[in-house]
Chain A
Amino acid sequence: MAKVLMKGNEAIGEAAIRAGCLNYFAYPITPQSEVAEYLVRRMPEVGGVFLQGESEVAVGYMLFGAAGAGARVFTTSSSPGISLMSESISYIAAAQCPVVFVNIMRGGPGLGGILPSQGDYLQATKGIGHGDCRLLVMAPASVQEAVEMVMKAFPLAEKYRNPVMILGDGLIGQMMEPVEFPDHLKSEPSNKDAWATNGMDHRKSNTRNLVKSLFLDPVVLNDNNLALKAKYDRMRVEEVMSEPYNTDGDYKGLIVSYGTMSRVCRTAIDMLKADGIEVGMVRPQTLFPFPVKAVEDAALKPSCTHVLSIEMSMGQMVEDVACCVKGRLPVSWYGKCGGDIPTPEEVIGVVKERIA
């Protein structure tokens, strides 16, 4: 297929369709409303459904219901909207249903602002809902990567029967880049007979399926949590993704950065190189599971003296980076939030002050 010029938000909508998802429930919020604008037109063309809920709380339970019935389903929202959905995300994780969530982050806390931010890192990776639940979280750094991650998210959600989140920021949603789409995937979850409550006559299996998140018996509840933990541990082994940049040779400092911020850092690293200063970068593509080994190995290169976590937040991912480095090197944070994205020049200034 020829390349087309698309906004991240439009491309995310198209990618979901290409992944065989024909059910989209959402409530509009800047800076991701274009997903809904795109799909309100596109879904009917492919026989799909876009249904706007009366609020994000309602949308969360519409997703739960559809997923419980075996439908491939997704939503998109932005920071405050995701907070409203967080109760249902916990229920969906507890009941082991596959749903894809896209969070195009805006500035926070509270209503915050409408410009790009990465302030929901901790929420997405550690505190998405009550109880011991986790999301598999992927963070794209380009429109093309957003397409690939959305398409990957559906099979992963079904593999683990767990919610998967694409964590982008306002710029990933709003910027335009040329993209191409791979072929359609098959539209039915392959393993849904094992869990979908879609009627016995629709399934090959004779066991009754039950979608629930209430486990009053403490032993049964503990068993359910152990089953969830086993899935999250498996994700840590099988799903970790990261991309190194300028790490082949020796470097004095290592940057860890993701999404939009990592692209600014890339430009800064290129400019520093021209200045004779070598800095490497690890870009986490999955935020949970975090690329622990990649960050640890890159940080422990003998030439490396300092690790910088650069984020469009007030220092959230830096906690994970510090866990990887385990006190063996200084780890520090630099970032801004509110929508004013640090420039390559600002990043260079910080590198020169702390590393070079």
Chain B
Amino acid sequence: MKLELSGIVIIVGAYGSGKTEVAINLAVHMNAKGTTVRLADLDLVNPYFRTREARHALSRLGIDVVLPPAKYMQADLPILTPEVAGMLRNPSGLTLLDVGGDDVGATVLAALADPLKGKAVQVLQVINPNRPYTDTVSGCLRIREEIEAKAKMVITGIVGNANLMEETTEQDILAGYEFSKHVADAGNVPLVFITTPTELLTRLDKKDIHCPVLALKRQLVPPWKRAETLGPSE
């Protein structure tokens, strides 16, 4: 199954669910298909491991990354650059917003209600059942409600991002798929896609997976590791 997304796509989810890795890799995936992609780093909550760390790799591929002004790049200040409203008013092929974690991180979306008015928007909730508080269906639904209340937006789909980073196994992916399906069913929204580390993609038995699979190349790595090389692999 092919993963095709366009228009305005907003990535939300619990803190540490993997929103940024999903957003970066989704941007690269659609860019490789010839879609014009703009990606905005809206993580105003946490100053570590943000999209901005992959900005150079993304720019090299021709993906436009919208960030706060350089002098504020390392600040833990809630800076929402006006460029974000501009990109929402005139969306390109795929306009991606990578939002901060939990309801606190999603609060920024309420401030974008005006440029989003009347626009078709997909709001995708990233879930990882190997994280605290999103290891149950009810936990995922609870965080969904909290995000929707603060964002003043409705979540339209689920992204299954089950992983234990480099310790992820095929079993984790398959169990995570089943879990994500339950969350999607319980919330009455589609499971839009799931992710897998790229090195597991070929070994993964996909016959029971009935949704697109996005292969992730990890970008937000500690300084003793190298980020995987981004770019078309298909």
Q: Which residues of A pack against B, CB within 8 Å? A: 3-7, 10, 14, 30-31, 34, 37-38, 41, 113-115, 170-171, 174-178, 260, 263-264, 266-267, 339, 341-344
The A-contacting residues of B in range 10-28, CB under 8 angstroms, are 15-16
Minimal Cβ-Cβ distance residue in A for B130:
A5
Q: State the CA gap A264–B165 with chains docked (Å).
A: 19
Are B133 and A3 within 8 A (Cβ)? no
Q: Point out the residues of chain A lying under 8 angstroms from B47, CB to CB.
A: 30-31, 114-115
Q: Point out the residues of chain B lying under 8 angstroms from A260, CB to CB.
A: 222-223
Closest 7 CB pairs of A and B: A174-B48, A267-B224, A178-B164, A341-B223, A263-B224, A264-B224, A5-B130
Q: Which residues of B pack against A, CB within 8 Å? A: 15-16, 46-49, 74-76, 128, 130-133, 135, 163-165, 167, 222-225
Are A178 and B165 within 8 A (Cβ)? yes
Q: Point out the residues of chain B lying under 8 angstroms from A10, CB to CB.
A: 16, 132
Please name 6 pairs of A and B residues whose Cβ atoms are closer than 8 Å in the assembled complex, sorted by A.
A5-B128, A6-B131, A38-B132, A41-B133, A170-B48, A264-B223
Minimal Cβ-Cβ distance residue in B for A107:
B74
**Distance from A339 Cβ to chain B, minimum over Cβ atoms (Å):** 7
Cross-interface CB contact of A344 among B76, B164, B165, B224, cutoff 8 Å: B224
Q: State the CA gap A14–B133 with chains docked (Å).
A: 13
Q: State the CA gap A10–B46 with chains docked (Å).
A: 14
- Total CB contacts across the A-B interface at under 8 A: 69
Are B131 and A178 within 8 A (Cβ)? no
Are B222 and A113 within 8 A (Cβ)? no
Are A176 and B225 within 8 A (Cβ)? no
Are B131 and A174 within 8 A (Cβ)? no
Q: State the CA gap A114–B48 with chains docked (Å).
A: 9
Are A30 and B164 within 8 A (Cβ)? no
Q: State the CA gap A255–B184 with chains docked (Å).
A: 51
Q: Point out the residues of chain B lying under 8 angstroms from A178, CB to CB.
A: 130, 164-165, 167
Minimal Cβ-Cβ distance residue in B for A263:
B224
Q: State the CA gap A175–B49 with chains docked (Å).
A: 8
Are B167 and A339 within 8 A (Cβ)? no
Q: Point out the residues of chain B lying under 8 angstroms from A266, CB to CB.
A: 224
Q: Point out the residues of chain A lying under 8 angstroms from B130, CB to CB.
A: 3-5, 178
**Distance from A24 Cβ to chain B, minimum over Cβ atoms (Å):** 16
Q: Point out the residues of chain A lying under 8 angstroms from B46, CB to CB.
A: 174
Minimal Cβ-Cβ distance residue in A for B75:
A114
Q: Point out the residues of chain A lying under 8 angstroms from B16, CB to CB.
A: 5-7, 10, 176
**Distance from B28 Cβ to chain A, minimum over Cβ atoms (Å):** 21
Q: State the CA gap A4–B14 with chains docked (Å).
A: 15
Q: Point out the residues of chain B lying under 8 angstroms from A5, CB to CB.
A: 16, 128, 130-131, 163-165
Known: A3-B130, A175-B48. 8 other contacts (CB 8 A): A4-B132, A4-B135, A5-B164, A6-B132, A10-B16, A37-B15, A174-B46, A178-B130
Q: State the CA gap A5–B75 with chains docked (Å).
A: 26
